[in-house]
Amino acid sequence: GENVEQHPSTLSVQEGDSAVIKCTYSDSASNYFPWYKQELGKGPQLIIDIRSNVGEKKDQRIAVTLNKTAKHFSLHITETQPEDSAVYFCAATSRGSTLTFGKGTMLLVSP
């Protein structure tokens, strides 16, 4: 089955800095890579996703890049704000298989 590794496990940045979270996956058949944000006491919420037919996707301050050859993908958050503080999960799947999550990255943005 799919195995997703995520790092770092914790990340502290100053407000306005950029944050990068990286993930690797094992199953070359995976073709869908979402990122979820989980705030304390809440369920995860999708913030951005990318499919294997593109290498990069951007949505305002958030971007995701995908390298299928190396089997890794990354989340980039620019101009971080305190409300970006949360746990972020990467995940990978392909049609017919289940979504496998990484262990999460706790992002802390200090004012």
Q: Is the peptide bond before 34 cis (omega within 30 degrees of 0)?
A: no
Q: Do the beta carbons of residue 87 and residue 96 sit within 8 Å?
A: no
Please name every residue paired with 48 in a beta bridge, in sequence order, or none if there are none.
Answer: 35
Could you tell me the smallest distance in angstroms from the CB atom of residue 79 to another protein? 25
The nearest distance, CB 16 to another protein, in angstroms, is: 28
- CB-nearer residue toward another protein: 44 or 77: 44
- Closest CB to another protein among 38 and 65? 38
The residue ranges that bind another protein (CB under 8 A) are 4, 6, 31-32, 34, 36, 41-46, 49, 51, 89, 91, 93-104
To another protein, the closest distance from the beta carbon of 88 in angstroms equals 10
Residue with smaller CB distance to another protein, 45 or 110: 45
For residue 44 the two structure tokens come to 């995860």
Query: What tokens appear for 31 in the block?
Result: 């073709």
Cα–Cα distance list, 19 to 14, 40, 51 (Å): 10, 20, 22
